[in-house]
A and B are shown apart, each in its own frame.
Chain A
Amino acid sequence: MTRLPYGSPTTPLPDEVDVAVVGGGIMGLATAYHLARTSYLRITVVEGAYLAAGASGRNGGGVRMQWSDPNNVRLMMESLRICRGLTQELGINLWFRRGGYLFLARTPAQADQLERNAAMHRELGADTRLLSPTAARAIVPELDVTGVVLASYNPHDAVVFPWPFLWGYAARATAMGVAIRTHTKVTRIEPETATYRLHLSDGTALRTDTVILAMGAYGHDLNRGLGIDLPNRPHRHEILSTAPLKPLFDPLVVDLSTGLYASQSLRGEVVAGVTLGAPDLDAPPEPIDTTSSLGFLERIGAALVRVFPRLGPVSVLRQWAGPYDFSPDGDPIVGPSPGHPKVIQMCGFTGHGFMMAPAVSRLVARFVAHGIGDPLLDRWSPGRFAGKPPARPREVMIIG
């Protein structure tokens, strides 16, 4: 039977599979793709709404190797390496554009951070350069560098259009036999002797050996139903898109003082977000809120026009919101769950999961299909929050 390439609400599901992926975002679809590519497992993906309904469809599409933690730098060097050939691999235009990332520091502490990052990046082979404000202007002539003391620039960082990644992974996974069912919620996961039974919103059920919860900030209810209590918390972030302009600047520009990030898409729109506070990680998870605010427009209007004065008359066409899935130590929560080794978590990516997914999905698929571990998976273990959390430097380059 020929299946529809991107799944559908009527995709027939078998009664029993080896791996059920819950969540049709980039994590779930890419992991299903790699599982299908490297194993003979029977795989299905169940998505409660449509592909890209969650954070995968709401992020700014930045893909960068400029991080403060060497693990993240190495991971993202790998992800960018994968992205370079991914359009050909997935057979879809991902709008992958290597315009670089330019970080602007306005305080000595921010400048110190960029210097430490750049030294470490060079040790790892990442081509990050420190630039004077004048040199930064040479790369982005539209920039107002008043008050900027130092910039860091990596020409290999990139911006993508997020949605086609999901379509590409979904179509390739479907072609290899993965059943993708959309508009169908998993209402409950019932543990059985050696398997799990997924109860679906259409009244049917699905038995599976392994569950991959690739739901980002949306997984708390299913986890709690299994007695799994994870400390990740959703936090509403907002973003906007302007009217399209002729090519104005190449790199994605970050102002560390405001948490502003702005890039220009291949359609010419400026896509930008800004920091709006942090979540209370000690509180119970709040319902996910994707409403838009005027306060965001005020803050980003000021932050963006300060850096790009000529954008003042440019109109905002659309603003939207999506959840960052905050993890308490800034590291993702990935791997077997405490008490449920066959329930694999993929969450806690703290607003930067999309760019990590091309690499993370390979690690998780290798682990699930072949039992091959990885130091990153050890570091990201969902079990690390039991007892005293491991002391380690926190990733500080969380933007937006």
Chain B
Amino acid sequence: MIPCFLCRCEDVLAAEVDHAIDLGWTTVEEIKRYTGLGTGPCQGKECLPLLAAHLAARDAAAACALAPFTQRPPAEPAPLAALAGTSEDPTR
């Protein structure tokens, strides 16, 4: 079988998500924590819709469980040195 990646940043396969569901995890927040999906550089921008589609196709999730995980700042990866200076120079 050809492995199907749902999360390219953290190398999470569809089969690994299926395994997590079989273990009883029911929500996107739980699947994120158990598999690491969505915790890499894209922070879920690529993989969350794929996960939702996968769960819907499997009929694995109640509608409420398809809620995306909490979006965390920053929206894009931001360097520490720039953040350290934001008060002095907000345009930097």
Report A297-341 residues with CB < 8 Å from chain B CB.
Answer: 297-298, 300-302, 304-305, 311-320
- What 0/1 readout, one digit per residue, does chain B (18-41) give for beta carbons within 8 Å of chain A? 000001111101100110000111
The answer to whether B80 touches A318 (Cβ under 8 A) is no
CB proximity to A under 8 Å, residues B63-82: 70, 72-74, 77-82
Alpha-carbon distance A320/B41, docked complex (angstroms): 15
The answer to whether A5 has its CB under 8 Å from any CB of chain B is: yes
* A242 interface residue per 8 A CB criterion: yes
The docked-state distance in angstroms from the alpha carbon of A107 to that of B91 is 35
Chain B residues with Cβ below 8 Å from A320 are: 70, 72
Decide: A305 and B43 in contact? CB cutoff 8 A. Answer: no
Closest approach, in angstroms, between the C-beta of A58 and any C-beta of chain B? 11
Q: Are B72 and A319 in contact (CB under 8 A)?
A: yes
Residue pair B23, A298 in contact (C-beta under 8 Å): no
Q: How far is the CA of A316 from the CA of B40 in the complex (A)?
A: 11
- Check: A57 CB closer than 8 A to any chain B CB: yes
Q: Which of A276-294 contact B (CB under 8 A)?
A: 292, 294
Which residues of B are found within 8 Å of A398, using beta-carbon distances? none
The CA of A183 and the CA of B27, in the complex, are separated in Å by 10
Shortest C-beta distance, B67 to chain A (Å), equals 12
Give the distance to chain B from A55, nearest Cβ to Cβ, in Å: 14
Contacts of B40 in A (CB 8 A): 317
Asked if residues B81 and A4 are in contact (CB atoms below 8 Å), the reply is no
Q: Choose the segment among A6-14, A36-44, A225-233 that binds chain B (4+ C-beta atoms closer than 8 Å).
A: A6-14
**B81 close to A313 (CB less than 8 A):** yes
Indicate whether A316 sits within 8 Å of B81 (C-beta atoms), given known contacts A7-B24, A8-B24.
no
**Residue of A whose beta carbon sits closest to that of B81:** A312
A297 adjacent to B83 (CB under 8 Å): yes
State the CA gap A177–B40 with chains docked (Å).
36
Q: How would you classify the secondary structure of chain A's contact residues: helix, strand, loop or mixed? A: mixed
Q: Smallest distance from the beta carbon of A175 to chain B beta carbons, Å?
A: 13
Q: Is A119 part of the binding interface, using a Cβ–Cβ cutoff of 8 Å?
A: no
Inter-subunit contact B84/A163 (CB<8 Å): no
* Inter-chain contact A6/B74, CB cutoff 8 Å: no
How many of B's residues come within 8 Å of A, CB to CB? Answer: 28
A160 to nearest B CB, angstroms? 15
Q: Is A52 an interface residue (CB 8 A)?
A: yes
A4 CB contact (under 8 Å) in B24, B70, B74: B24
Complex CA gap A317/B70 in Å reads 14
- Pick the contact of B81: A6, A7, A243, A305 (CB < 8 A): A305
Are A312 and B25 within 8 A (Cβ)?
no
Report B-chain residues with C-beta under 8 Å of the C-beta of A57: 33
Q: CB distance A305 to B73 under 8 Å?
A: no
Name the B residues within 8 Å of A349 (CB-CB): none
Assess A317 versus B77: contact at CB under 8 Å? Given A8-B24, A52-B33: yes
Interface residues of A in 161-196 (CB under 8 A from B): 163, 167, 183
Q: How far, in Å, is A288 (CB) from chain B's closest CB?
A: 14
Q: Are B84 and A305 in contact (CB under 8 A)?
A: yes
- Bound state CA distance, A302 and B80, in angstroms? 8
Whether B39 contacts A318 by the Cβ 8 Å rule is yes
Known contacts A50-B30, A292-B72, A320-B72; decide if A298 and B83 are in contact (CB<8 Å).
Answer: yes
A163 contacts across to B, CB distance below 8 A:
33-34
Q: Which of A1-39 contact B (CB under 8 A)?
A: 4-9
**A301–B80 CB distance below 8 A:** yes
Q: A163-B33, A301-B83 are in contact. Are A315 and B78 (CB under 8 A)?
A: yes
**Which of B27, B72, B74 is the one whose CB lies under 8 Å from A50?**
B27
Bound: A299/B10 CA distance, A: 29
Known contacts A243-B41, A298-B86; is-contact A316 B77 (Cβ 8 Å): yes
Q: Which 4 pairs show the lowest CB-CB distances between chains A and B?
A: A301-B84, A4-B24, A312-B81, A315-B77
Residues of A bordering B, CB below 8 Å: 4-9, 50-53, 57, 163, 167, 183, 242-243, 292, 294, 297-298, 300-302, 304-305, 311-320
Known contacts A297-B83, A318-B43; 19 further A-B pairs (Cβ under 8 A): A4-B23, A4-B24, A6-B25, A8-B24, A8-B26, A50-B25, A50-B30, A183-B26, A183-B27, A243-B77, A297-B78, A298-B86, A300-B80, A301-B84, A315-B77, A315-B79, A316-B77, A316-B80, A316-B83
Chain B interface residues toward A at CB < 8 A: 23-27, 29-30, 33-34, 39-41, 43, 70, 72-74, 77-87
